[in-house]
Structures are given as C-alpha cells and as structure tokens.
Amino acid sequence: MLSQKFLKVWFAGELDEKAVEHLKRKLAEALARRERRILIRFYLDKGSHETYYEALRNILLSSVALSIVVEERPAYELKRDLERASGEEILLVLGRGTIRPSRSAGLVVEEVEESCLRASPT
Amino acid sequence: MSEGKPDIILTTDRSMMTTHHGKEFLGFMTTGPAIGMPERLWMWIACPKMKTDPAGRPWQAPYALRKLEALLQDNGYNAAVIDPDHVNRYLADAKILMLSHHDYFALCPPSSEWWVVTKKEPVNAKSFRRLMDGLNLAEAKRRGLKVIVGGPAAWQWLYKPDLIERWGIDTIVDGEGERVVTDLVERAYAGEPLPKYVFVGPGDVPSIEEIPTIKRPSINGLVEIMRGCPRGCKFCSVTLRPLRHIPLDRIEKEMLVNVEGGVRSGILHSEDVLLYGANGIKLNPDALIKLHELSKKYWKTLAWSHASLAAIKLAESEHGLIRKLAEIICDEHQRYWGVEVGIETGSPRLAKKIMPAKAAPYPAEKWPEVVEEAFAIMHDNNIIPAATLILGLPEETPDDVMATAELLDRLRPYRSLIVPMFFVPMGLLKNKDWFTDVEVRDEHKEVMARCLLHSLRWAEDIVNKFYLKGKKNYLLKLVINTFLKYVSYKGGKVVRELGIKVPELLEKPA
C-alpha cells in the first residue's frame, strides 16, 4: 500500500487551530477529488507532544474514507527534503513561523494565514 | 518461528494471550477492575496463563496475531507469536516488535464504563502496562528495534503521546493490516524511516485472496468467516469496510489448523454470523447450513462471535433456520451456544437515527419488538446471548433511556446477560482523569441497575446449568458463584441506596 500513489501534503510551522482547519480542508478536498490516499508529513520543531497529538487527532478524525499516512521529520530537514523531492508533486502548507522556501519544480505552496484558495506555485 | 530466534516478535499482554479457560464470556472480566477478590485471583479466572512450547510460542494466540504471523511467514520473514512471559528472551536479537490489542488502555466499552462506575483502572490496561514496563525496550531500541502497534484499539495511542515516547512506538497501524504490514517491515529492514501513523481506508482493505490462512491455533479456535457489515450503524467503524465472505474451503483450512493443534472447539467470527453467504441482508440458509455442518465435522462445540437480532428473527420466522441450526449444533457434546448481540437502545426514535438499518428488513420503528422476538427465539433454542446496549449517545434524551429501561423489563423472561456500555465522547479522553468527567444521569443509573439485576438473575442459571456444568469446572464454578453472591449483595445495596425501584428483579428464574 505504501508504494501506491499518495496525494502528498507537507506541513511546516506552528500546528495551531487555523493550521488544523487548513489541513482538514485538504483532506475534504482530496476526498471530493476522489483521491484514495493522502500522506501528510509534519516538519516538527521540538515542542509539546500533547499539543501536536491533539491537533493530529482533530485532523485524522475528520476523515475515515481515505487511507492516511502520517510522517514526522525534524523541521531542519525541510530544506534538504525539498531539494531531494524536486519534480515530485507536493503541496507544502506553511503554518505560522516558517519562511517560504525557494522555488522547486512540482511544489505548490499554501500559507495557512492566506485563504485556502490562494495556492501559488513557487 | 521457522528456525532460531524470531526477527519479528508478535505479542500482546496476558489479558489477550489466554484461553479464558475455554470460556470466552469470562474474557469480559478482563475489561473490569478486580472486585471483591485479589487481582491475582481475578486474573486467574479471567485470563489464566497460556500453555507454551519450550520456545515460548503459545499454544493458542489471538487471531489477529496469527493472521499477521502467517502473512509475514508467507512473505519469507522469520516471524513468530511469542507469549508475553517469553518476549524478553528474544528482544535483544529482534528487529521488530509488533503489538496488537482490543483495548490497550481500557478506553473502549465496556472497560471505559467499569472505569467510570468503579473509578478503578480495569485489569486489561494494567496488564498491558505491566507487559510494556517489564520489557527491556530501552536497550533493544538503542540497537535499532522498531515497535509497531495495531489492532482495533490502535486509535487509543493517539491519546497517549507520553507512552508513545516512553516505550518508543515507531508506527501505529489503524485498520486491516494485510496490505501495509509487509511494506512497513521492508522499510524497517532497509533502515528507512517509518511513518508514525497509518490509517487503512476502505479502498485499501485486502481482497479475500490477500487474507492469509493462519498456520497455528487461534484462541478458542476462532475462525473468521466474514469481514465488514452492511448495516451502516453510526457508532461502528466496521460498517465502512466492504463486505467479504470467506469461502468454505478457506474456513475449513483454518478449522483443520486448530483441530490439528489440539483445539477441538471453535468460534465462528463475523460481525453477523447469520449474514454468511448473504446477499446484503437477504439470508442464505443453504450457506449457513453448510457452514455449520462443516463446523461440527471438526469441532465438538461451537459458538458465534456476533449476530444481529434482526437476522435471528428473520432466520427463524422466514426459514425456521435457528431451529435447523440448533439441530446441527446441539448434540452429545453441546446443548447450548453463546453469541454477542447488540440491543444498543430500546428507543425506536434513537434506533432510527443512529442505526436505521439494524432492524432491517423490519422497520426501525419496530426495533423493540424485533429485540424481544429475537430474545424469545434464542431462549427457546438454547442460545445464550451476551447483549450490549449503549448509554449516553450524543442525541439521547431521557425518554430514550426510559424506553430502554422498559425494553429491559420485557426481556426479563429470557436467559441472557445484558451489559450496558457507556458512550464516552472522545473529547474527554485527552484528560488523564477522564473517567471522573463522564456525566452519568439518574436514568442511566436506572438502566444500569436493571442490567445488573437482570444479568445476576440469569448468571447463576447460566453458570450452573450450562456454562460450567460438570465436575471438571468445580473450582472455577465455586469461585464464580461466590463472586456472584458478593456482587448480588453489593449491587442490591447500591440499588437500594440509589432509591431505584426495580420490580422484583432479584427473584430467581423458574
């Protein structure tokens, strides 16, 4: 199953209420587009596990129709991973406290503070 | 374990790795705290130690672990189910530890309810914690051991981030694992990072061909005959998955595995055994008769895991099928069989809202009548149900609860155990002391009292005349009868103190 096609969403920044709602919307949109699988990768700073898991539960409970894979990476690996993933279709969602990364082929960036409709290719 | 030490250890704690003395109903006791006796005695009654071979492989093991063991072995991995008392022998050399459980932290009903009522942690959660704290995990993790957890209670880990950290859980797998477990193992062997969490959606459940056949005996000979359920109840996740009927030849293979392993009784497992071979909810009497004839060819006794009350009524009233199955099942080895059934509510209004197809093909408005008729059919045919009902559902009103109380009064004449389950909103579970925050209203107490008195009234009859009949169960029967008397005394006292008027329920059945 893990080698199948997944809609890839990477998230970096603060996983606050707005970010959770943003990611829940991504799940709903994926379902509406008849995607079967979504991979959400969180780039995490060292912080409260309680807060992270509370946010995670909120996101995961919003869909039981999709297969969902959650990956975790340290925040400092984002830059390196973006370079390596050049050409792959990835939606990068930026929460508060992150810097917009440099241009990369295949990458679409959304900022949580923006309207969800204002996705922009970098 | 094909040879030497297993690279992949599959295990769980004692509350799961046990035969329950061959009496599945006793497994219910693992969901509560020890009451009226020392915990060691409670554990002995509910979950005695499993017989193992010198390598620590259990004689019988939970079916889910057996399925994973078979899947991994079929894919060439050196994997084995190991009894919890023997895991430390192998941990230092293992690459992966896989855990499965029905209720890791006692957050599912009925454990959660006993916790709310008694304010004491149930023994299943304590037993799992003892297992994990007793393993040499820190050392094994330093060497690179990966820990993967799954099973129907996998979701509970999301409420326990501290324990994920403490025990070094690498991956949580929620859902049917056949298509994902070998991928995870491959990644672990290759030293690649593992995902933290995998939810297997309905589109990724395995086909029948992808479901492996177990290679060693399962607990009490349990054999899966179906996956999924078509009834679509709102409180149940099984219903989201597609319906798959396991062909008879595959079922027979697993029966043979058990019989050759010395397990001569079995449990047919399905969300609704009577839907085996059915088209939706249209019953297939021929398939059911063949299934039961096959079962009795290999097993001395059999039980059903679950059946729906609507299917029981339909089977008997349309096809006379329960009587026919009783003729196949009941013989010189067996004069009754057990099953878990869901009443859930006595309120037609609530039934219509949360489980509109549970009564089908009968209308949801007729749910209480369906329940009562099904109970009468089971009573007449020596089927002993352990029934559940749900209290505290989000849209429940006091009138709904009173309708359930009234239905319980109508079920009085029918031999059964009835266990109320409390719906715990998931939002509460994030608090460490969640069980003190659950609101138990007076009408809930009334229903709980009725359930207690109903079950006590019938338990003695069931234990002495059916369940533990004969001299070989003398000691167990003595302990359980003493316990029932204690609960009867304590329960009666609590019911009187609460001022609940329950009409003559403490009288013994005729």
Q: Give residue-wise pLDDT tens across range B14-26.
A: 999 999 999 888 8
Closest to B58 in 3D by CA, of B125, B12, B7 = B12
Residue A115: predicted pLDDT: 46
Q: Distance between CA atoms of B189 and B146, rounded to whole angstroms?
A: 10
Residue B508: predicted pLDDT: 60
Q: What is the pLDDT of residues B129-182, one digit of tens each?
A: 999 999 999 999 999 999 999 999 999 999 999 999 999 999 999 999 999 999
Size of interface A-B (CB pairs under 8 A): 74
Exposure string for B159-171, b = 16+ CB within 10 A, e = fewer: bbbebbeebbbbb
Residue B494: predicted pLDDT: 75
* Mean pLDDT in residue range B92-110: 95
- B200 CB neighbours in chain A (<8 A) are 1, 67
Structure tokens that stand for B507 in this block: 């009288």
Which among B81-90, B241-250, B383-392 has the top mean pLDDT? B81-90
Residue B257: predicted pLDDT: 98
Q: Which residue has the tokens 């309680």?
A: A50
Q: Looking at residue A14, what DSSP letter applies?
A: B
- Write out the H or E segment, with its range, that includes residue B140: helix B137-142
Long-range pairs for B26-31 at CB < 8 Å and ≥24 separation?
Answer: B28/B110, B28/B386, B28/B419, B29/B123, B30/B122, B30/B123, B30/B124, B30/B127, B31/B103, B31/B106, B31/B110, B31/B111, B31/B114, B31/B122, B31/B124
The closest CB to that of B179, out of A1, A53, A65, belongs to A1
Which among A47-51, B240-244, B456-460 has the top mean pLDDT? B456-460
- B164 CB neighbours in chain A (<8 A) are 49
Exposure string for B133-152, b = 16+ CB within 10 A, e = fewer: eebebeebbeeebbbbbbbb
In angstroms, what CA-CA distances link A51 with A56, B85, B159, B309? 9, 35, 11, 43
Give the number of C-alpha atoms closer than 13 A to the C-alpha of residue A74, restricted to the C-beta side. 4
According to DSSP, the residues that pair with B196 across neighbouring strands are: none
The closest CB to that of A64, out of B159, B180, B237, belongs to B237
- A65 CB neighbours in chain B (<8 A) are 201-202, 240
Is B110 in contact with B27 (CB distance < 8 Å)?
Answer: no
Question: For chain B, what percent of residues have pLDDT higher than 70?
Answer: 95
pLDDT band at B189 (very low <50, low <70, confident <90, very high): very high
Residue A47: predicted pLDDT: 65
pTM across the whole model? 0.91
Looking at per-residue confidence, does B482 or B221 come out higher? B221
Is B235 in contact with B202 (CB distance < 8 Å)?
Answer: no
Question: For chain B, what percent of residues have pLDDT higher than 90?
Answer: 73
Subunit contact A60:B202, Cβ cutoff 8 A: no
- Write out the H or E segment, with its range, that includes residue A93: strand A90-94
Residue A70: predicted pLDDT: 97
Point out the least confidently predicted range of A42-46, B93-97, B124-128, B277-281: A42-46
Subunit contact A70:B164, Cβ cutoff 8 A: no
Strands B222-224 and B265-269: parallel
**Residues with Cβ within 8 Å of residue B196, at least 6 apart in sequence:** A70, A71, A72, B170, B171, B172
The C-alpha of A51 sits at a distance from chain B's nearest C-alpha, in angstroms, of 10
Is B241 in contact with B205 (CB distance < 8 Å)?
Answer: yes
* Mean pLDDT in residue range B503-508: 55
Q: Looking at residue A37, what DSSP letter applies?
A: E
Give the number of C-alpha atoms closer than 13 A to the C-alpha of residue B3, restricted to the C-beta side. 1
- A7 CB neighbours in chain B (<8 A) are none
Q: Is B410's pLDDT higher than 50?
A: yes
Residue A116: predicted pLDDT: 44
Subunit contact B201:A56, Cβ cutoff 8 A: no
**Residues with Cβ within 8 Å of residue B427, at least 6 apart in sequence:** none
* Mean pLDDT in residue range B2-31: 91
Residue B227: predicted pLDDT: 94
Structure tokens that stand for A62 in this block: 């919003």
Looking at per-residue confidence, does B183 or A98 come out higher? B183
Is B224 in contact with B270 (CB distance < 8 Å)?
Answer: yes
Looking at per-residue confidence, does B426 or B216 come out higher? B216
Looking at per-residue confidence, does B500 or B341 come out higher? B341
For Cα atoms B377, B382, B383, give the angle at the middle one, nearest 5 degrees: 70
The C-alpha of A19 sits at a distance from chain B's nearest C-alpha, in angstroms, of 19
**Residues with Cβ within 8 Å of residue B505, at least 6 apart in sequence:** B412, B450, B453, B454, B457
Structure tokens that stand for B413 in this block: 């004449």
The closest CB to that of B201, out of A56, A61, A66, belongs to A66
In angstroms, what CA-CA distances link B48 with B27, B45, B180, B473? 10, 6, 33, 14
Q: What is the pLDDT of residues B34-49, one digit of tens each?
A: 988 899 999 999 999 9
Residue B487: predicted pLDDT: 79
According to DSSP, the residues that pair with B96 across neighbouring strands are: B8, B146
Q: Which residue has the tokens 């009968």?
A: B362
pLDDT band at B439 (very low <50, low <70, confident <90, very high): confident
Residue A66: predicted pLDDT: 93
- SS3 category, B237: coil
**CB burial class (10 A; 0-12, 13-18, 19+) of residue B192?**
exposed
Point out the least confidently predicted range of B8-17, B104-113, B292-301: B104-113
Q: Distance between CA atoms of B107 and B116, rounded to whole angstroms?
A: 10
Point out the least confidently predicted range of B107-111, B151-155, B253-257: B107-111
Residue A119: predicted pLDDT: 47
Q: Distance between CA atoms of B299 and B297, rounded to whole angstroms?
A: 6
pLDDT in tens, chain A (122 residues): 999 999 999 999 999 999 999 999 999 999 999 999 999 999 988 766 778 999 999 999 888 889 999 999 999 999 999 988 888 899 999 998 887 877 677 788 898 875 444 444 44
